[in-house]
Amino acid sequence: MKSIGNILFSGFTHRKLITTIYLLQFVMAITVGLQVYNVLDASIGNSLSINGLKYGNAHMVINDLLNTHGPSLSPVLGQARWMMLVYLIFAAFIHGGIWNSLIHTGAENAFWNGGATYFFKCLGCGMIWTFLLLIWSAVLWIPYISRITIWMEQWPSEAPILWIGVLIFFIWLIGVLIFFVASCYSKVFIIRDDRQVLKSVWKGLKTGIRQTFRVVPILLIFATATGVLYAIHAVIDDSRILASTIGIFILFFIQQLIVWIKIGLRISTYRYLLHRNV
Amino acid sequence: MRIIGFTICLFVSYFGLFSQHADSCSPTISPSALSQRIANYTFEITLDHITHSLEGREWIEWKNLSSDTIRNIRLYMYLNAFKNNQSSYLKGSMMNVMGQDLSHRKDEDWGWVSVVEAFQNEKEITDMYYVQPTDGNPLDQSVLEIVLDQPILPGATLSLDMVIEAKLPRIISRSGFAEHGHHHFVHWYPKMGVYEQDKNGEWGWNCHQFLRQMEFYGDHGNYDVTIEHDASLTLGGSGCFEWYKEPVEGAKGRVSTRFNADDVIDFGWVASPNLLVHTEQWRHVEIRLLYPKIHKRLVPRLIDAALHGLEYMDKHVGEYPYSTLTILDPPVHGLRSGFMEYPTYITGGSFYAFPKGLRSLESLIIHEFAHQYFMQMVANNEKEDPWLDEGFVTFYEDCIMEDAYGDASLFDLLGYRVRNSSFTRNEYASLPNHSIGPIAVRSWDVRRDYKGIIYSKTATVLQTLKRYIGEEHFDEMMRNYFEQNKFAHPRKDDFVSAVLEEFERHPNILTPVIEEFLTDVLDGTKVCDYAVTNIFNGRTPPVSGLIDRTIEYKMSGLTSPGANYSSVRLERWGSLIVPVDVRINWSDGTVSEEMWDGKSTVFVMEFSRDARIVSAEIDPERKLFLDIDFNNNSISLQSDKGGIWKYAMRSIYWVQNAIQSTSFLM
């Protein structure tokens, strides 16, 4: 138990790194948040209906807002979409920084130097893995989805259809785990061994396939910890206690703490993978 | 010896009789006829589940209650809608029904019904032909006209004896066969049209062809249906069993089932292997649920929904007089037979592992059950006045769901909660064009957004009426409407009369304009949207210059120029005029309740008080459920932005999570 605890929280020794990444993400997200605030304030900010927004989801308020002011919300959604894309590219920089900090512990400005030095290599590597994930998802899900309606009319029960879906999900998840582990090791090989992108990807894949099943329990623990955080948030977000002005800001603090912890857990995962002597 | 022999005979015949009628029942709890029993049917048919076909005899006894001598009759032959792709039904569906592409269909997958022979008083009728009274499509065979050999005099009864054949289609919509022996028989037999007076008082056949977006219309009567079928099939349908699966002599594996259904407008049934049966008793009603084994976990939910429906409608509308209610929860391969209502027989639609917080399956059962009142007992013409049943039923579906499951009646999943009435209102409020068409319109005249107008807008109108007059009086109104129109064919005017009577009996702020209101919402396309657009606190302005005549002023104790002055500007953005309440909150903590007749496009309320206006709200109790935007109903000068902050913070949190999750491979 103690060693699991050590693994789980090992990344939290890099508090400066976690905070840096957190701030970068926060800066990007707050642009969307402020837009949401402005649109809501401009459209229904003086209405008494907004009191309903404090308590869980206010279906009628939100629907009337979408019906009447839907077009003014579409730029926000557009912005969120573009921002996600920008962050995907920016994430190559962040990952270059994270891995450089973990590999060259103690080096000055390791995060920024790593991000700048390995940006393009990490970007190329990330694009390859994302492309492979898309292919993997398409290969598994498109045949299934395209058969569902036919099976529904032909099969005696829907249970097998559901369970096949569950089975495919687990197979897909194994693939995702392999890709995740392999992509991590690819970056290790790029930064630690100064390898080329394609060679790193290939070696990463081989290592990923070899290592994934050994690290699955630990990865599941990380996933569970993240799930617990989501569940805690769902309960708190739904609570009527946090509906006062102070309560809402306490909720915000908890939300941001969760985001910070999740980054810490991600770094703990990377540390764990790095220290498996591959 | 003779006495012993007689006793044995009596004993044997008694138990013979007893075993023959062991399952017999009375279809209704009334000892006398509930309806005029105009169209009565007796069937003796044989089902061949391998070829998906029926053959046998159908006897119709039909009473001529008109003052006309009738020489021709018209019969619905709705199974012929699935005979080929040239039927009006399929042409109207653009060859796609419920997501099913019909352009590549095998010949054996089409279905039909035909009258092989017909006899009137044992004399064969030879003159019969298909007619197309609704759209003139010569290839449509959904209405058959028979020229009678002997006319039916006013008050006389027609006796028609027919040999019929029917072949089920692979299910396109509700009626048909599916894989694994599932057979669903609805609108499967030649059925009498309705001979009635039109709006001008002229008698004639109301027997429309089967078009897409169209439902059904028939007279009440009794059904006596005997079906010979394979023993492996489980049967269920309208009415009750006179006997169930009695062995057929000399035919191994064949059994006979006999249904009786009294005072109903139609008869639907299912024959399917592998269905389990669960029965539950509610007062005089036996609920019989047919379901596939895989749905066992859903049985309590389905039964619970039916019980809530029975309880609520009994309390708020009227008695359910039938002794049975059969529910089919179809297997997945027979799902196209679901989502529909037939007399004392309804079909749902559910899936294995359906989440408990997603109550659409309960909502569906309740919706279809409420049809037992509106379309079955109160048998409006579903084709010409679809709003009179679908809209009413949607309204009651919402009422029952909220009564049974509370505020989160429809969805209560992962913190997302939705009430039924809120969902229904939004189906109307979210229409891209609220003026797309009126409610009171023939089903085939609705161009677009059928559900939003016929179902949801009607339900929202009823919700508005209920909120204005109060639940108690609304219930009284609907009970009266039900009692006056059950086992009859009411039209719009019958409903309007019921509303006017009740609003006159219990006056409220809507009463003075109720007639105009009903005309506007039922026959018109006016939209309702009231808004508070400004609040002003200051000093009395000097009155000078020209005053716009379109602006009304309500002066409330105004004093000389320079005195304290507050005003609220109210606007009517839609064209529907409805009187509304206005609530004003003052800085000294007092609340004043005002009323606005809602007629002018702009209305300014003026006040001279020491306190300042903090907020103003039109229709604070949300009586005017038809208002398409509640958010603009109020303005507050001290609005608490906490809710907006909460949503902005939520969006930050979820964007952070999204960028973390999507970038894990980068």
Residues B435-447 pLDDT 10s: 999 999 999 999 8
Decide if A68 and B663 are in contact by the 8 Å CB cutoff: no
Give the closest of B180, B335, B665 to A156, CB-based: B180
Average pLDDT estimate for A2-18: 84
pLDDT confidence bin for B663, thresholds 50/70/90? confident
pLDDT at B543: 66
Average pLDDT estimate for B199-228: 95
Most B CBs within 10 Å, among A90, A197, A237, A248, to test the B interface: A248
Average pLDDT estimate for B212-231: 96
* pLDDT at residue A278 is higher than 70: no
* B210 and B61 within one domain: yes
Give the closest of B418, B632, B666 to A126, CB-based: B666
Higher pLDDT, residue B22 or B226: B226
pLDDT confidence bin for B18, thresholds 50/70/90? very low
Most B CBs within 10 Å, among A22, A26, A41, A50, to test the B interface: A50
Q: Residues of A with CB below 8 A from B331's CB?
A: 156-157
Residue B63 C-alpha, separation from nearest chain A C-alpha, in angstroms? 43
Name which of A33, A30, A64, A34 is nearest A47 in CA terms. Answer: A64
Decide if A122 and B666 are in contact by the 8 Å CB cutoff: yes
Whether chain A has a CB inside 8 Å of the CB on B649: the answer is yes
pLDDT at B559: 52
pLDDT at B538: 92
Containing A120, the helix (H) or strand (E) segment is helix A119-154
Question: Quick check: is B237 in a domain?
Answer: no
* B577 and B518 within one domain: no
DSSP one-letter string for B142-186: SEEEEEEEEEEPTT-EEEEEEEEEEEPPBPSSSSEE-GGG-EEES
Q: CA-nearest residue of chain A to B654?
A: A29
Most B CBs within 10 Å, among A24, A38, A41, A53, to test the B interface: A53
Average pLDDT, chain B: 93
CATH number at residue B68: 2.60.40
Q: Residues of B with CB below 8 A from A234's CB?
A: 414-415
pLDDT at B553: 59
Name which of B380, B384, B370, B396 is nearest B459 in CA terms. Answer: B396
Decide if A63 and B658 are in contact by the 8 Å CB cutoff: no
* pLDDT at residue A154 is higher than 60: yes
Q: In this structure, are residues A260 and A21 in contact, taking their beta carbons and an 8 Å threshold?
A: no
Containing B285, the helix (H) or strand (E) segment is strand B285-292
Whether chain A has a CB inside 8 Å of the CB on B617: the answer is yes
Residue B214 to residue B142: CA distance in whole angstroms: 13
Question: Quick check: is B51 in a domain?
Answer: yes
Decide if A34 and B648 are in contact by the 8 Å CB cutoff: yes
* B278 and B300 within one domain: yes
Q: CA-nearest residue of chain A to B433?
A: A67
* B500 and B461 within one domain: yes
Decide if A155 and B333 are in contact by the 8 Å CB cutoff: yes
Most B CBs within 10 Å, among A46, A77, A125, A267, to test the B interface: A46
Which tokens sit at B363? Answer: 């909502």
Question: Quick check: is B503 in a domain?
Answer: yes
Where among B466, B499, B523 does a domain terminate? B523
Which tokens sit at B87? Answer: 């039927």
* B199 and B69 within one domain: yes
Q: In this structure, are residues A8 and A261 in contact, taking their beta carbons and an 8 Å threshold?
A: no
CATH number at residue B460: 1.10.390.10
Give the closest of B180, B630, B658 to A64, CB-based: B630
Residue B473 C-alpha, separation from nearest chain A C-alpha, in angstroms? 26
Lowest mean pLDDT among A122-136, B5-19, B378-392, B426-440: B5-19
pLDDT at B475: 98
pLDDT confidence bin for B2, thresholds 50/70/90? very low
pLDDT at B213: 87
* pLDDT at residue B5 is higher than 70: no
| Phi/psi of residue B106, nearest 5 degrees | -70, 155
Average pLDDT estimate for B272-289: 97
Give the closest of B422, B651, B666 to A91, CB-based: B666
Decide if A156 and B333 are in contact by the 8 Å CB cutoff: yes
Of chain B residues 584-603, which have a CB less than 8 A from chain A? none
Q: Residues of A with CB below 8 A from B630's CB?
A: 49, 60-61, 64
Average pLDDT estimate for B90-119: 89
Question: Quick check: is B266 in a domain?
Answer: no
Most B CBs within 10 Å, among A153, A154, A266, A269, to test the B interface: A153
pLDDT at A107: 81
Task: For strands B240-247 and B275-282, give the pairing.
Answer: unpaired
* pLDDT at residue B402 is higher than 50: yes
pLDDT at B3: 43
* B555 and B425 within one domain: no
* pLDDT at residue B17 is higher than 60: no
Containing A112, the helix (H) or strand (E) segment is helix A110-117
Residue A128 C-alpha, separation from nearest chain B C-alpha, in angstroms? 9
pLDDT at A9: 84
Decide if A49 and B656 are in contact by the 8 Å CB cutoff: no
Q: CA-nearest residue of chain B to A130?
A: B665
* B511 and B551 within one domain: no
Decide if B647 and A36 are in contact by the 8 Å CB cutoff: yes
pLDDT confidence bin for A93, thresholds 50/70/90? very high
Average pLDDT estimate for A132-152: 96
Place of tokens 């300014």: B604
* B507 and B543 within one domain: no
Where among B523, B552, B580 does a domain terminate? B523
pLDDT at A244: 86
* Residue ranges of domains in chain A: 2-274
* B595 and B477 within one domain: no
Give the closest of B180, B628, B651 to A36, CB-based: B651
Q: Residues of A with CB below 8 A from B639's CB?
A: 45-48, 50
In B573-643, the DSSP E strands lie at 580-586, 591-596, 602-607, 613-618, 634-636
Give the number of domains in chain B: 4
Give the closest of A48, A162, A249 to B352, CB-based: A162
pLDDT in tens, A195-205: 899 999 999 99
> Where is mean pLDDT largest: B3-7, B49-53, B198-202?
B49-53
pLDDT at B552: 61
Task: For strands B70-76 and B191-192, give the pairing.
Answer: antiparallel
Name which of A166, A235, A183, A178 is nearest A211 in CA terms. Answer: A178
Q: In this structure, are residues A226 and A262 in contact, taking their beta carbons and an 8 Å threshold?
A: yes
Give the closest of B179, B630, B666 to A49, CB-based: B630
Residue B157: domain span: 26-221
Give the closest of B426, B640, B649 to A51, CB-based: B640
Where among B372, B397, B413 does a domain terminate? B372
Residue A268 to residue B9: CA distance in whole angstroms: 90
User: Measured between alpha carbons, how far is residue B619 from residues A48, B455, B654 in Å?
Assistant: 12, 24, 35
Q: Residues of A with CB below 8 A from B351's CB?
A: 158
Q: Residues of B with CB below 8 A from A86's CB?
A: none
pLDDT confidence bin for B95, thresholds 50/70/90? confident
Buried b (16+ CB within 10 A) or exposed e, B115-153: beebbbeeeebeebeebbebeebeebbbbbbbebeeebe
* B68 and B190 within one domain: yes
* B209 and B278 within one domain: no
CA angle B355, B346, B381 (to 5 degrees): 125
pLDDT confidence bin for B23, thresholds 50/70/90? very low
Most A CBs within 10 Å, among B655, B660, B661, B662, to test the A interface: B655
Question: Quick check: is B661 in a domain?
Answer: no
Whether chain A has a CB inside 8 Å of the CB on B407: the answer is no
pLDDT at B13: 39
Decide if B331 and A37 are in contact by the 8 Å CB cutoff: no
Residue B283 to residue A239: CA distance in whole angstroms: 41
Average pLDDT estimate for B271-284: 97
Q: Residues of B with CB below 8 A from A64's CB?
A: 429, 628-631
Residue B426 C-alpha, separation from nearest chain A C-alpha, in angstroms? 7
Give the closest of A87, A122, A162 to B659, CB-based: A87
Q: CA-nearest residue of chain A to B291?
A: A157
Decide if B652 and A48 are in contact by the 8 Å CB cutoff: no
Whether chain A has a CB inside 8 Å of the CB on B292: the answer is yes
pLDDT at B387: 98
pLDDT at B100: 81
pLDDT at B68: 97
* B487 and B616 within one domain: no
pLDDT in tens, B539-585: 876 666 766 656 665 555 455 667 889 999 999 999 999 999 999 99
Residue B552 C-alpha, separation from nearest chain A C-alpha, in angstroms? 24
ipTM of the complex: 0.94
**Chain centre distance of CA B331:** 23
Average pLDDT estimate for B102-130: 95
Decide if B656 and A50 are in contact by the 8 Å CB cutoff: no
Residue A77 C-alpha, separation from nearest chain B C-alpha, in angstroms? 11
Higher pLDDT, residue B167 or A5: B167
